[in-house]
Structure 1
Amino acid sequence: MAAGTDDVFQRDFATFSQIVGWRAEAVPDKPALADPSESATYSELDRDATLIAATLQQAGIVKGDTVAICALNSVRYVVAMLGILRAGAVIAPIAPSSTPDSICVQIVDSAAKLLFLDMASDACLQASTVGVPIERVVLDDPAAPCGLAAWLARDAVFVPVDVGPDDAFNIIYSSGTTGVPKGIVHSHAMRWAHISRATYPADAVTLASTPLYSNTTLVSVIPALAAGGTVILMPRFDARIYLELAEQYRVTHTMLVPVQYRRLLDDPTFDDRDLHTFRVKFVTSSPFDADLKQEVLDRWPGGLVEFYGSTEGGGVCALAAHEHPDKLHTVGKPLPEHDIRLIDQDGREVAPGQIGEIVGRSGAMMLGYHRRADLTAETEWHGPNGDRFIRSGDLGRFDEDGFLVLMGRKKDVIISGGFNIYPGDLEQALRDHPVVGDAAVIGVPSRIWGETPVGFVTLRHPGEISAHELRDVANASLGKMQRLSEVRIVKALPRSPIGKVLKTQLKDDFLRTSRE
């Protein structure tokens, strides 16, 4: 084939590793990656990944083996990831923000044969009480005995590996804070689906500020590199540094989570920045308030596209917010060839306009949970024809135009006095007050009602309103059975590294302080 040309995407299937190799042939000197410390052209990325793959093979890693990575975003992280894939192995990206013991549990669960990590993660693992007898390769310490330079076998000869669509690409752990990890296994076919449907042009400059262990990041970085673009990697998100990099590299594309948009727009220098090079900004991973979407459209050049889906895969919805300003309260319509349906608690499809659990089917679906056939079966729903769908755990309804409106997590529904209360409605009532920055609502035990809703809010201007006053204002706009029993003002809502509100932590904190 003519390497690096658009006919890459006319194929039925190609691996990410193959495509990067073709880009290296077509545009060897084009910048592929950059971080604060180093950069790599496509030829350098391809060459270094092949050397890592050859060294892995010499170390006994064979097709289907797992190799873990626990590090902050960097050029070397992506090189190692590509080298693992080229050797036919499976990547297990692990969050360095997890506790040392949790990191070790995930390494053991993944059955990783080798661990790439950075100096910070290496030091963190020394504190673990679990301990894992695994070879470690430190990516960012060239002087270390276990550093990348010392580990690489310069004379190793790479033996090409035949990788097919159904072979595993990665194991992503959806919860690194629990004692029982849940590894989501994606195939090369699923990653190909992400690559082939993406719209990144070859001249795209993508700024990646979310962590590479997250599917949120991979669904952006992998297609951007496959297209032959340039990816700028931030080890950690910082609003001011993000804006500086956006100007410096004349960024055209980015994938962010909602809380990052809020922090960027709140930066006092935002409106003075030259951001006219942005063409499209993407968002996913957690609910995106309609008012915040509108603010992004008003203040930030370029389009705004929201994706709704899950790490497990299934159906995906997309909302081109700049094309549908009247649908900002929705997450858009299902993508082509994505089948999304709503079911009740008994697994039956609900009537049009009714609320149900969101289930989806597409060419991008997980193989299953790693070594957990029981959990895999629980997350599947089979349609009338026997087709396999993935349960999202989210509740939603389709409006009259076919746009999906999220109603919250199924597990977060509050049952008060026998009535279902959807936290999203109450959270929006709180956010409607001009001094509220963000809001989250949980259900807490009630002797009278079974459960009762409690709101937590952050304020744009602390001291302007009391919690009691804010509760009364919100309740005035809510139905009688929806009313908040209490509102608490907090400095910040607890969030995961990719911005999801940790409602379990809110509930635990509430119950603890209520007993004190």
Structure 2
Amino acid sequence: MAVVSRLLTARAQERPTSKAFVVGADGRSLTWSELASQAALWRAAGRATALPQRARIGLVATDPLAFTAAYLGVLAAGLTAAPLDPRLTESELSTAISRLRVDVIATDEPDAFGPEIELWSLTELGPVPVRSANSAARPSDGAALRPAVLLASSGTTGAPKGIPLSEWQLMHAARRVARHHGFGPDQRGYTPLPLFHVNAQVMGLLANVVSGSSLVVDRRFDVKAYWDRVEQWRPTWLNAVPAILASLAAAPAPGEDVVRGIRFARSASAPLPEHTLRAFTEHTGIGVLETYGMTEAAGQITANPIEAADRRIGSVGLPVGVGLSVLSPDGRPVAPGQEGMIALRGRQVVSHYLDLSADVPERTRPARDARGWLLTGDLGVRDEAGFVRLAGRADDVINRGGEKIHPLEIENVLLGHPAVRSAAVVGAPHERLGQVAVAFVTADPAARAEELARDLHELCERALTRYKRPTTIEVTAELPTGPTGKVLRRALRAELATAGGAR
């Protein structure tokens, strides 16, 4: 029996009527008993339709409770969950379904799908088959791997690849998360993050199951309703990303009685500018627990200590049960304080990727090098005490005539201006220097673009050496982002390339 199945059964026996998951917006909930029943319904549906073990179930759900019940039910039934972003267009969904070799689509909006694939509807009575497959052959026949969860990389730095996670890796990560954050039956989290992302799945859903705590979920982040939801449901911790923290720092502050009892706001999924951390804490009175993770490690890699006095602002903390090293270009560990490539290894880190190329037999490729290290693509520094500080993505580094520029350093300067809400710096093609730094910022609606750009240039002149200063600072209405608020720098670089380089 799957570990998730055993845990759900145990929770249902311990506290059958306790609410495990609650929707912040309307109060709908799932008790532990209801979750265990849903898991049983998934096992029965799999047997009734003769689904093979680890058949791939594409989860497309807009309702967070429907997703939660289905995700945990799929794992409990020994099937493979392939969560998909419900906001994708019909064409994008079709491509993702084909690439992931999905056997069955399970959705709370069955009318949105055509007749090409087997379809199940997500209901309060469990998964209900709507349409059978057109042939006995299944898309995942001949699969190279049969993981518990199959995720596609975000694609923020290139073409997406399949990341297969075993049940052991997922549950090991969930236990590490629950232990580090002190979760238990007396704890309640609040997350408005998309559940199809590994952060919310492991940090939220699975850590909740492992610890027996409760979780308030919402379909999306709503800055106007956020503190009302917190006041209503009284969470003890908040799951957030930098974009959410920045928005809350600029919104009306919550009252002391609203935030009383909140131990921390956890930040993950994207780099957290120091200015954003300080602004949020000063504005709300809530400390921020900065962390670092990636899908290949089933989520969390490092985290700051729970005790606020032991945290280090600007650091993503210490490794949490994961082998981590900082390597030089020749693959050797660098000395403390020196910059290098963050590398991971251990059983909890994926060993292979799946090639998601269409119209070819499914195949794997190694995710680690010959010494067992997975190179994350993130540059960073580890100090004498083991704390990790990220410098940015290796492929985001700007090479200006041989001088290397980290965008994060410039972005932190720009975010120091009170009118700037978000910032992204990328390299633009330059005929003589190869690349130069170009900045994009979003701003307070009251700010005047020309005046703000001039002020920001002056700010950079004071704070940055000459070669690091952006040649252009463009005030824009919004930055292109992924589902967790991570800026899609490749979209900005493509925009600059189309425009002919630095402006």
Matched, 1:250 2:238: no
Q: CA shift at 1:37, angstroms? A: 6.7
Assess, with a 3 A threshold, how the Cα gap between structure 1 residues 452 and 177 changes in structure 2: closer, same or farther.
closer
Matched, 1:79 2:48: no
Residue correspondence of structure 1 range 147-296 to structure 2 within 5 A: 148=127, 168-175=147-154, 181-197=160-176, 198=178, 199-220=182-203, 221-268=205-252, 270-271=254-255, 274-296=258-280
Matched, 1:463 2:453: no
| Worse-matched range after superposition: 394-403 or 40-49 | 394-403
Helix, strand or coil at the partner of 2:373 = strand
1:155 corresponds in structure 2 to none
CA distance in 2, matches of 1:196, 1:264: 29
Residue correspondence of structure 1 range 363-442 to structure 2 within 5 A: 363-371=347-355, 376-377=365-366, 379-382=367-370, 386=371, 388-442=372-426
Question: What residue identity is the alignment partner of 1:15?
Answer: V
CA distance in 2, matches of 1:209, 1:257: 10
Contact 2:5/2:76, CA 8 A, preserved across alignment = yes
| Bigger RCO of structures 1 and 2 (CA < 8 A, at least 6 apart) | 2
TM-score with structure 1 setting the length:
0.84
Assess, with a 3 A threshold, how the Cα gap between structure 1 residues 468 and 296 changes in structure 2: closer, same or farther.
closer
Q: CA shift at 1:17, angstroms? A: 2.2
Helix, strand or coil at the partner of 1:270 = coil
CA distance in 2, matches of 1:445, 1:397: 28
Matched, 1:58 2:48: yes
Q: Deviations over 1:41-84 (max 9, x none)?
A: 11111112211221122111121211110122422221112221
Q: Deviations over 1:380-422 (max 9, x none)?
A: 234xxx3x22211111112344321211111111111112111
Assess, with a 3 A threshold, how the Cα gap between structure 1 residues 452 and 85 changes in structure 2: closer, same or farther.
same
CA distance in 1, matches of 2:248, 2:78: 39
2:359 corresponds in structure 1 to none
Contact 1:306/1:331, CA 8 A, preserved across alignment = yes
Q: Deviations over 1:214-255 (max 9, x none)?
A: 011012221112211222221122122232221111111221
Helix, strand or coil at the partner of 1:264 = helix
Question: What residue identity is the alignment partner of 1:136?
Answer: L
Q: CA shift at 1:485, angstroms? A: 1.1
Contact 2:443/2:475, CA 8 A, preserved across alignment = yes
CA distance in 2, matches of 1:175, 1:338: 22
CA distance in 1, matches of 2:95, 2:158: 8
TM-score with structure 2 setting the length:
0.86
- Please, which of 314, 318, 327 is the counterpart of residue 333 of structure 1? 318
Matched, 1:501 2:487: yes
CA distance in 2, matches of 1:84, 1:417: 52
Q: Deviations over 1:451-487 (max 9, x none)?
A: 1110111223412833134123203321232222111
CA distance in 2, matches of 1:14, 1:138: 23
1:448 corresponds in structure 2 to 432
Assess, with a 3 A threshold, how the Cα gap between structure 1 residues 140 and 167 changes in structure 2: closer, same or farther.
closer
Q: Deviations over 1:355-380 (max 9, x none)?
A: 11111124421243235698742x42
Assess, with a 3 A threshold, how the Cα gap between structure 1 residues 364 and 414 changes in structure 2: closer, same or farther.
same
1:27 corresponds in structure 2 to 15
Question: What residue identity is the alignment partner of 1:214?
Answer: H
Identity %: 28
| Worse-matched range after superposition: 217-226 or 320-329 | 320-329
Question: What residue identity is the alignment partner of 2:104?
Answer: L
Task: Tell me how many residue pairs correspond in the alignment.
Answer: 474
Assess, with a 3 A threshold, how the Cα gap between structure 1 residues 253 and 167 changes in structure 2: closer, same or farther.
farther
Helix, strand or coil at the partner of 1:184 = strand
Question: What residue identity is the alignment partner of 1:330?
Answer: S
CA distance in 1, matches of 2:167, 2:500: 49
Q: CA shift at 1:14, angstroms? A: 7.2
1:9 corresponds in structure 2 to none
Q: CA shift at 1:326, angstroms? A: 7.3
CA distance in 2, matches of 1:29, 1:85: 22
Q: Deviations over 1:236-290 (max 9, x none)?
A: 2212223222111111122111111122232225347612132232110001111
| Worse-matched range after superposition: 272-281 or 106-115 | 272-281
Question: What residue identity is the alignment partner of 1:50?
Answer: A
Question: What residue identity is the alignment partner of 1:22?
Answer: A
Q: CA shift at 1:25, angstroms? A: 0.9
Query: Structure 2 regions of 5+ residues with no counterpart?
Result: 132-144, 357-361
Q: Deviations over 1:71-115 (max 9, x none)?
A: 224222211122212221110001112232222222122222211
Contact 1:276/1:301, CA 8 A, preserved across alignment = no
1:311 corresponds in structure 2 to 295
Query: Structure 1 regions of 5+ residues with no counterpart?
Result: 1-12, 127-131, 153-165
Helix, strand or coil at the partner of 1:136 = strand
Q: CA shift at 1:20, angstroms? A: 1.3
The CA RMSD measured in Å over matched residues stands at 2.9
Assess, with a 3 A threshold, how the Cα gap between structure 1 residues 176 and 55 changes in structure 2: closer, same or farther.
farther
2:60 corresponds in structure 1 to 70
Question: What residue identity is the alignment partner of 2:483?
Answer: P
